[in-house]
């Protein structure tokens, strides 16, 4: 598990019709009453949350609002204290991170987590691992099937790097400029062929031009690859321009949700978040 203390069993909230919605229909992600408690601290408090198909949904809120903890509850890094996580009609509550990835959710991290001494292509190939069919014995014996799959995965990795706009594909990850490392993280996440992509502050440390390129990339992921995106982001320009829907957390609670226009005008949001920025 994640290193946080065990909290007890996940309470089985009522799922009603949600769990019976067949894959491919209904929202891609349906989160029901998720809470996460660390000792006495309620980091996420009974949050309901939906990501419709092919939507870009942003999760915003002041520092410490519980956004990353919420992500960690979705991706199996944390076991939620209460609540259910339904992905594409399937209950993935408290499943291991590799199971969640295989189910079709990929993520990037607030602090970039690349294999620093591997090339960009190799990093993306690692990301493809959940979708590869080679077995360990085949890898040791270097069977024709393994060699063919490796070649295909190298070509596919290069395509994904093209898609995210990364030119220095054979460069070691640690030698890439910061913006390219962020792009590489996204390409690696795409390697597992997710239907839902979770991005944790992808524009952190980027200049305005790079942020705009990333916004355009998110748009293309949705329109060209039918992907749904859940975004944690502090750059309000990016959030307001790219999101179909925004949810606002404050002290672990959902205090508002709606379209960018609705959220921008919500007095609780202005007070809790936009106000504090101003
Ligand atoms: N493993 C942990 N153990 C104990 N407390 C934690 C743990 N992870 C997060 N917290 C606490 O939970 C609260 C929510 O933190 P979280 O990182 O989820 O907020 P955030 O909205 O992502 O913040 P930021 O915008 O600064 O990244 C904070 O008070 C934080 O200190």
User: Is 111 a pocket residue for ligand 1 (Cβ < 6 Å)?
Assistant: no
Cβ–Cβ under 8 Å, residues 272 and 62:
yes
- Domains located in the chain, CATH noted: 24-104+194-277 (3.40.50.300), 115-193 (no CATH)
Q: Which pTM value belongs to this model?
A: 0.85
Q: For strand 82-87 and strand 56-60, is the pairing parallel, antiparallel, or unpaired?
A: unpaired
DSSP-assigned beta bridge partners for residue 58: 231, 246
- What is the per-residue pLDDT across 99-112, written as a single tens digit (0 to 9) for each? 999 999 999 987 77
Atom 2 of ligand 1, nearest CA residue: 4
Distances, alpha carbon 193 to alpha carbons 68, 150, 165, 169, 246, in Å: 22, 17, 18, 19, 25
Atom 7 of ligand 1, nearest CA residue: 38
Cβ–Cβ under 8 Å, residues 171 and 158:
no
Distance from the first to the final alpha carbon of the chain: 39
Residues belonging to the chain: 278
Report the share of the chain in percent with pLDDT over 70.
83
55-63: average pLDDT: 94
Q: What is the mean pLDDT of the chain?
A: 86
ipTM comes to: 0.96
Task: Supply the pLDDT for residue 274.
Answer: 56
User: Is 7 a pocket residue for ligand 1 (Cβ < 6 Å)?
Assistant: no
Q: How far is the CA of 66 from the centre of ligand 1 (A)?
A: 5
Task: Supply the pLDDT for residue 112.
Answer: 77
Determine the Cα–Cα distance for residues 200 and 145; give it in Å rounded to an integer.
36
Cβ–Cβ under 8 Å, residues 114 and 184:
yes
- What is the per-residue pLDDT across 218-264, written as a single tens digit (0 to 9) for each? 999 999 999 999 999 989 899 999 999 999 999 999 999 999 999 98
Which pair of tokens denotes residue 168? 């220095």
Most confident range (mean pLDDT) of 106-115, 164-173, 200-209 is 164-173
> Lowest-pLDDT range, 33-47, 48-62, 109-123, 167-181?
109-123
Question: How many other β-carbons are positioned within 10 Å of the β-carbon of residue 46?
Answer: 16
Q: How far is the CA of 245 from the centre of ligand 1 (A)?
A: 23
User: Is 62 a pocket residue for ligand 1 (Cβ < 6 Å)?
Assistant: no
- What is the per-residue pLDDT across 257-278, written as a single tens digit (0 to 9) for each? 999 999 988 998 888 865 555 4
126-145: average pLDDT: 67
- Per-residue pLDDT band at 215 (split at 50, 70, 90): very high
> Lowest-pLDDT range, 28-32, 42-46, 112-116?
112-116
Nearest to 8 by CA among 96, 81, 78: 81
């Amino acid at each position: 598990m994640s290193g946080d203390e065990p909290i007890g069993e996940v309470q089985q909230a009522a799922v009603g019709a949600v769990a019976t919605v067949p894959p491919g229909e209904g929202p891609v992600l349906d989160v029901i009453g998720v809470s996460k408690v660390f000792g006495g601290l309620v980091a996420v408090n009974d949050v309901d949350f939906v990501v419709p198909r092919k939507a870009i949904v942003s999760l915003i809120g002041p520092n410490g609002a519980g956004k990353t903890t919420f992500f960690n509850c979705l991706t199996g890094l944390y076991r939620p204290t209460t609540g259910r996580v339904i992905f594409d009609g399937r209950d993935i509550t408290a499943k291991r991170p590799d199971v969640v990835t295989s189910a079709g959710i990929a993520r990037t991290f607030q602090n970039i987590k690349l294999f620093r001494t591997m090339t960009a292509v190799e990093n993306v190939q690692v990301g493809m691992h959940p979708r590869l069919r080679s077995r360990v014995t085949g890898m040791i014996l270097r069977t024709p099937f393994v060699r063919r799959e490796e070649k295909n995965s190298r070509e596919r990795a290069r395509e994904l790097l093209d898609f995210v706009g990364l030119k220095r594909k054979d460069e070691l990850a640690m030698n890439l400029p910061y913006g390219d490392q962020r792009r590489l993280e996204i390409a690696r996440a795409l390697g597992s062929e997710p239907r839902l992509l979770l991005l944790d502050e992808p524009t952190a440390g980027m200049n305005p031009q790079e942020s705009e390129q990333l916004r355009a990339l998110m748009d293309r992921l949705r329109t060209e690859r039918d992907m749904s995106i859940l975004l944690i982001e502090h750059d309000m320009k990016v959030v307001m321009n790219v999101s179909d829907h925004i949810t606002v957390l404050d002290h672990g609670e959902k205090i508002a949700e709606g379209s960018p226009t609705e959220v921008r005008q919500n007095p609780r949001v202005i007070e809790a978040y936009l106000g504090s920025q101003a």
